[in-house]
């Protein structure tokens, strides 16, 4: 059952490999071909490289090509080749000695292609090779940009993330990457939210304000005044009657 989608995947990958070969040629000739297309933001491609060595000395090889598209909506796509037999074996060996699988992308700007500033250096990230093997090469690569569209960081995580020491028997599992690729720009931190607060305050004021509209003193405190008056009247009357009774007694 699982073999069906896998073979389908394989089929779909072959053309991409072919495409990639063409792509690499583009990359090797430099970015100039990309530059010509820049004006209409049709994107450009940068290599995604990886390195996994038993002795932990970085030797980066091309893993695939990132198609970056700047402009209003940044988008990114990745075309990558399968791992060769040799690479698969190395990766397994690295996983056994708990080595690292590193990736790197060159520092580029997504928006500002015209000025073509020479940005030297790479952005590097890593994941434990064993987790990559155990996840059957399913990884999530995230590219981070800053406000002006420069790539500032790259990160890689595998799903699932942990190394449990399970053996990967099937060679087919380690052939093709199952990569999810995202690009993240900084979010805007919120400003103090005054409008909603004022609105809420107004509503509260209205709620409170309405029943207390211009009441006269008597209207407000009639419940105290009336009993008081009644009490005074009653006591006065009692006094009189009491006095009368006393007088009567005296007679």
Binding residues vs another protein (CB under 8 A): 56, 58, 98, 100, 102, 104, 107, 119, 121-128, 131, 140, 142, 144, 146-148, 150, 152-153, 155, 157-163, 184-194, 196-197, 200
Q: Are strands 75-80 and 138-145 parallel, antiparallel or unpaired?
A: unpaired
**What DSSP character marks residue 72?**
S
CA–CA–CA angle 160, 165, 170 (5° rounding): 80
Minimum CB distance to another protein smaller for 23 or for 49: 49
Q: How far apart are CA 101 and CA 155, in angstroms?
A: 12
The residue among 67 and 158 lying less far from another protein, judged by its C-beta, is: 158
Nearer to another protein by C-beta: 14 or 184?
184
How far is Cα 161 from Cα 138, in angstroms, rounded to an integer? Answer: 10
Between 17 and 203, whose beta carbon lies closer to another protein?
Answer: 203
In the complex, what is the shortest distance from the CB of residue 126 to another protein, in angstroms, rounded to a whole number?
Answer: 5
Burial of 218 from C-beta contacts in 10 A (0-12 / 13-18 / 19+): exposed
Question: With respect to another protein, which residue has the nearer C-beta, 51 or 81?
Answer: 51
Pull the structure tokens for residue 230.
């009644």
Q: Least distance (Å) from another protein to the CB of residue 38? A: 19
CB of 56 to another protein, least distance (A): 6
CB of 172 to another protein, least distance (A): 24
Name the minimum Å distance from CB 71 to another protein.
18
Q: Within a 13 Å sphere around the CA of 180, how many CA atoms are in the beta-carbon half?
A: 7
d(CA 172, CA 176): 8
The pair of structure tokens assigned to 151 is: 């790539």
């Amino acid at each position: 059952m699982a073999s069906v989608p896998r073979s389908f995947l394989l089929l779909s990958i072959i053309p991409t490999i072919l495409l990639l070969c063409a792509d690499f040629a583009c990359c090797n000739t430099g970015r100039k071909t990309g530059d010509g297309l820049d004006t209409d933001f049709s994107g450009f491609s940068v290599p995604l490289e990886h390195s996994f060595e038993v002795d932990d000395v970085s030797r980066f090889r091309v893993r695939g090509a990132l198609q970056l598209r700047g402009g209003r909506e940044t988008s990114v796509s990745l075309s990558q080749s399968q791992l060769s037999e040799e690479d698969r074996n190395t990766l397994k060996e690295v996983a056994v000695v708990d080595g690292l699988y590193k990736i790197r992308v060159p520092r580029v700007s997504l928006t500002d292609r015209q000025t073509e500033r020479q940005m030297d250096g790479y952005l590097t990230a890593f994941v434990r090779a064993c987790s990559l093997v155990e996840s059957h090469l399913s990884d999530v690569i995230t590219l981070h940009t800053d406000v002006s569209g420069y790539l500032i960081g790259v990160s890689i995580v595998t799903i699932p993330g942990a190394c449990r020491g399970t053996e990967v028997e099937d060679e087919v599992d380690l052939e093709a990457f199952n990569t999810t690729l995202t690009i993240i720009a900084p979010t805007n931190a919120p400003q103090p939210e005054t409008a909603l607060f004022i609105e809420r305050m107004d509503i509260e004021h209205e709620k409170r304000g309405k029943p207390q509209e211009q009441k006269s003193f008597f209207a407000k405190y009639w419940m105290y005044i009336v009993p008081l008056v009644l009490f005074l009247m009653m006591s006065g009357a009692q006094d009189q009657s009491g006095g009368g009774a006393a007088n009567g007694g005296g007679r």
